[in-house]
Structure formats: C-alpha cells, structure tokens
Structure 1
Amino acid sequence: MPIYPIDVFEFPTNLGLNKKEEDEQPGVYVLPEHFKTYGLYDQLPIQNRYTLLAPPYEIKKDAVSGILNIEAVAHYALQQAELLATALEEKTFKLMIGGDCSILVGNMMALKQKGTYGLFFLDGHTDYLPTSSSHTGGAVAGLDLAIVTGLGDDRITNLNDLKPYVLEEHVFCVGNRELDDSYVQPILDSAIRYMDLPTLRKTGIEHIVNQFLDMVEQQQLEGFFIHFDVDVLNDLIMPAIDSRQTDGLDYVELIQLLRPLVSHPQVVGLEITVFDPHLDRDGIYATSFIEQLVDIFS
C-alpha cells in the first residue's frame, strides 16, 4: 500500500471533452460512482473522500482562443485548487478520479501554489499542442499538458498568476502512440522529456522510472504528481474511452511503471482520467481495472 492513507478526490467533470454526435454527453463524469459500484473504495485504505461537482456540460467554443469551454474549465480548476490547498498539507496519498484530463489544470495549480513539483504524464497522447493544431476541436482534454506548462491562452494557463503550473523540464511524457510527425513535433521542440510507447519499451520501463526519480532528486523538487489517462492502455483491455487506438500498455507493464512511483516517498498522488462508464455498462472493464489498481497499491 502507499506509505500514507489515501484521500480520494472525485472530480467528475466532462467539460474538457468534445461531444460525439451519438453521445448525450461524454460519460466520464460518472466514473467515481462507477468505481464505487465495482468495489474500488472497499479495497483501499481510504481515509477521506471529497467530491467537487462540476458545472453542467456544454459546448462553448471561445472565439479568441478556440478552446472549448475555457471559462467553465478555468472556474472548475480554481475550485479544485482551493479544495486542495488545505488537503495537500495532510500526509495522505491523493487519489484523484476524473472526469476528463482537464482536471490536471487544477491539480497542478494547487501544487504550484505549494512549491515546485514534477509531473509524470502517462497518456496515449501527448496533449501538447497549440490550440490551432488541436486534434480535439479545442477540447482541453487534448491540450492539458500544453496548458499546465504554459502554452496557450492566459485565461487558463495563468490562473492566479501561477504560469506555468509545472516547468517543462520537470515533466516526463510517457506512452504516446499517436506518432504522426506533425502531432509529435511540438513536444519534441519543448524541454519536456518525451518517451513514446516504442521508446519506452526499447529503453525499458525500470530505466525510464529511475530517470524520472533521479530528475526529481537532482532538481531538488518537493515532490511529484502522476497523470494517468487510461487511453494509454491496450485497446483490448481498455476500450471504454473516447479516442481508441491499437496497441498500448498491458497490465504487467502498467504495474511495472506505477508501483515504484506510487510507493515513492515524494509522490503526492495520482489522477485517473477518461474512463467512460457509458462504454462499460456491465462493469467488465472496471472490474479488471480495479483489480490491477489495487495490485499496484499492494
């Protein structure tokens, strides 16, 4: 188990996702309840549980930035940071359940208010693009890494004058498998340490994790946070997402990655995003995912 008890933070927002034509709205907002139904909370040493309700879903594209729901996402991020301001003082592991990837904004804001932290960004996409190049129609869930490192409109990248919420050189982006040259070029031009899925497997999981932890130590960071978008997983074991791709990490690889990170004394917490229970009505994928997550914490 983690070295501290677990505090669960439920951030059930879907404002960072674009709507598919067949959807009533993206179903990621019911993930906390889905995990509760299939036993996650019963299997972990949870000390406290917090819920921050999100505004109703909308599709409102900003005329200036092109970012979808920029005002609503920014407001929710400010509420997250306020909630976390006190909670981060507690010696607990913060397990944050989305929602979509836009919850990274408020989480990294809260950490920036506290000090200088690193980010281990585990995702099937880089989410590092200027809005004009976004493959997601300006949805924040496809721009979150760019936003937290200061790329984009100040109305979301510079809340409370905290830009950037994390320095590029303190970020490892791991697991991307959207390998089109135009998609990956922006992150290659940044100071972020970038390892796509083929590079991760070639270099070795243990080596990448150790490199990240060495960076945290060498940069004298006060700690680090883990972003875990479940679309980094193999499509055969996690199809309940909005942007499916072939291949991806299997659960053995995931455990090798996350276990040494969640058990490290400088870890602050882990966020889980983009699992859509509307695509897992019978709980098959939740049941297997929870089993593996509990194993990671064991």
Structure 2
Amino acid sequence: MKKNISIIGVPMDLGQMRRGVDMGPSAIRYAGVIERLEDLGYAIKDLGDIKIGQAERVHKDRDTNLRNLKAVVEASKTLAAKVDDVIEGGDFPLIFGGDHSIAIGTLAGVSPHYENLGVIWYDAHGDLNTADTSPSGNIHGMPLAVSLGLGHEDLLDIGHDRVKIKPENVVLIGARSLDEGERELIKEKGIKVYTMHEIDRLGMAKVMEDAIDYLKEKTDGVHLSLDLDGLDPSDAPGVGTPVLGGISYRESHLAMEMLEESGLVTSAEFVEVNPILDEKNKTATVAVALMGSLFGEKLL
C-alpha cells in the first residue's frame, strides 16, 4: 500500500434514523487510529470532517420514498471531490463514517481513477435497495445499488459517471440480512456473495482466498467498504442495525491480514460506528484494530 494516508471524516447520520453515528469519526480518532498507523510507518494527514447539512424531515418524502435526499447528495458531492483530490495527490484515502450512505460519495471519488474498480463490501446487509424496494427509505441501505447505477437520479449524478462499478467486480462478505428486492437484484446481476453460511462452511481463509482470486485478475484497484455491523454484535455492539450471527473479531482480523498480503486494496472506509450505542468505545477500538491489520500490523 501507499505509505501516505489521508483521513477524511464524514459525520453523516441522515442516511438512517438512529442518532449518534455522526460521532463515529471522532470515536475512531479517539481510539488512537492516527498513532497506530504512524507506528506502522505511515505518514498521516487528517483532513478533518466534511460538513453535513440538516435533516429535511423526519418522515419519508412522499414523492421519492427517500429520507434527507438533498443533504445526502450535497455531502456526497463534497466527499467525492475530497477523495478525488486525495488520489490525485498520490495518497491512500481512508474514510471514517458516519452511516453507510457515505459510500456513495466515496465511490464517486474513487471510481474515475480506475478502469475496473473492484469493491469488497464487508457487511451484514446488501445495501442494494432502491426507492422502489426499500422498506424504510433510508439511503444507508442503498449505496451499493447507487454505485451500480440504480437509484434516484440525484444520487446517480454524483461524480463523473452514473455507473461507478460493475456488478461482476463486487464481492459481498458477511451477508445475513437481505430484503427481497436485494435478493432478486443479486441474482439478476450475478453479484458474488459470501453469506454467513459460506463463511461457516468454508472458513474465512477460503472465503478471502476465493474473493481475492476472483478480483485480482480483472480489477486495477479494490475499494474496501467495511460496515462494523458485518461483525457479530458481541464484538461490535455500537452499530445502528446489529444482526446476530455475524463475522467474529478474529475472522475479521484474518480477512484484513489477507487483504494486506494481497496488495489489492487501494482505498477504504470504515462506517456505522455509533458511540451512543456502544460499550466504552469498543466498536471504534475494534475498527482501529482492524485497520492495523489492513495496513500491515503483525504480532511478530
């Protein structure tokens, strides 16, 4: 990986309904991420947090079935421009959330720099809903669909191209809560998914081996989008939408270690850390520990 890392905080809580996730970037910094990465030999630039607008309404918009569309779009545009600048400057972009709607802006900023960007979506959920399929209207359940070119036109128009990634370049790891529309889309687009069934049956080492092999020949960069609810709530309790039966702390470390060894990852974001729902900043501390493994931390 590049030895210069630029950190961008995105205190976004408008893509969903539970307050507190806007404090995620601060919680991750408080957990010592900068010191940990500097100890690994990286030069760190903390670019601070982008500004997030106000919620427009508590309820879903009657016409769009989306919450806080305007504010999410504006923040995503700002984030996309910052990520684009970081990559242009030769640094590795590391983004802290905030809810997972921030991935719309992240991928809009990353994708123009690659011909065939790959994405590892480490998450309990598919985030493949659109306004037509979403039960909630929460945009944090839509960023992967938007990045594939599916969704409201205002979200699709963020960045240079409406389609940021190809479905065959996506690997979803840890899925265990999918809506009906998401299941249909996965089958229709042929998206590679490793549910908890595959992780339990094959083991995390085999899952990551297969995922890395699947992406390495056809992509020229890989973005890691890691939602802390991909982990089991016993290991990461401070998330807005916890789902029992998730990936373990140790399995997640192994996954990050294997990604580091592969040399594939060219950008990353860690999202959905909510300190209000957490236990003594445990989830942010887990996020920082996983970043350590992703960036080459070894026991010996």
Shared topology, TM-score over 0.5? yes
Partner of 2:44: 47
C-alpha distance in structure 1 between counterparts of 2:181 and 2:166, whole Å = 23
C-alpha distance in structure 2 between counterparts of 1:211 and 1:126, whole Å = 19
SS in 1 for 2:132: helix
Q: Structure 1 residue aligned with 2:258, among 252, 257, 260?
A: 260
Partner of 2:240: 242
Q: TM-score, normalised by structure 2?
A: 0.87
Partner of 1:34: 27
| Letter in structure 2 aligned against 1:190 | K
Structure 1: gaps (5+ residues): 20-25
Give how far 1:161 is off: 5.2
The yes-or-no answer on 1:218 pairing with 2:203 is no
Partner of 1:23: none
Judging changes above 3 Å, is the alpha-carbon distance between structure 1 residues 156 and 125 closer, same or farther for their aligned structure 2 residues? same
Judging changes above 3 Å, is the alpha-carbon distance between structure 1 residues 292 and 112 closer, same or farther for their aligned structure 2 residues? closer
Partner of 2:67: 68
C-alpha distance in structure 1 between counterparts of 2:66 and 2:3, whole Å = 38
Judging changes above 3 Å, is the alpha-carbon distance between structure 1 residues 56 and 181 closer, same or farther for their aligned structure 2 residues? closer
Any conservation in 2 of the 1:18–1:59 contact (CA below 8 Å)?
no
Map 1:178-217 to 2 at 5 A: 178=177, 184-217=183-216
Any conservation in 1 of the 2:112–2:160 contact (CA below 8 Å)?
no
Judging changes above 3 Å, is the alpha-carbon distance between structure 1 residues 121 and 285 closer, same or farther for their aligned structure 2 residues? closer
Partner of 2:284: 286
Partner of 1:231: 229
C-alpha distance in structure 1 between counterparts of 2:215 and 2:242, whole Å = 32
Judging changes above 3 Å, is the alpha-carbon distance between structure 1 residues 48 and 279 closer, same or farther for their aligned structure 2 residues? same
| Letter in structure 2 aligned against 1:125 | H
Any conservation in 2 of the 1:231–1:243 contact (CA below 8 Å)?
yes
Q: TM-score, normalised by structure 1?
A: 0.88
Map 1:26-175 to 2 at 5 A: 26-45=19-38, 46-51=43-48, 52-59=50-57, 61-116=60-115, 117-135=117-135, 137-160=136-159, 162-175=161-174
Give how far 1:296 is off: 4.3
SS in 2 for 1:42: helix
SS in 2 for 1:249: coil
Moved more, 93-102 or 274-283: 274-283
Q: Which digits, 9 at most, give the CA deviation of each residue in 1:124-148, with x for residues without a partner? A: 111112323213x111101111111
Give how far 1:109 is off: 0.8
C-alpha distance in structure 1 between counterparts of 2:126 and 2:78, whole Å = 25
SS in 2 for 1:275: coil
- Kindly tell me the number of residue pairs found equivalent between the two proteins: 289
| Letter in structure 2 aligned against 1:118 | G
**Structure 1 segments (4+ residues) deviating >4 Å:** 179-183
Judging changes above 3 Å, is the alpha-carbon distance between structure 1 residues 209 and 285 closer, same or farther for their aligned structure 2 residues? closer
C-alpha distance in structure 2 between counterparts of 1:181 and 1:142, whole Å = 13
SS in 2 for 1:234: coil
SS in 2 for 1:130: coil
C-alpha distance in structure 1 between counterparts of 2:68 and 2:53, whole Å = 11
Q: Which digits, 9 at most, give the CA deviation of each residue in 1:169-213, with x for residues without a partner? A: 110111111156665233222221112111233233233323333
| Letter in structure 1 aligned against 2:25 | P
C-alpha distance in structure 2 between counterparts of 1:179 and 1:141, whole Å = 14
Give the aligned CA root-mean-square deviation in angstroms.
2.2
Structure 2: gaps (5+ residues): none
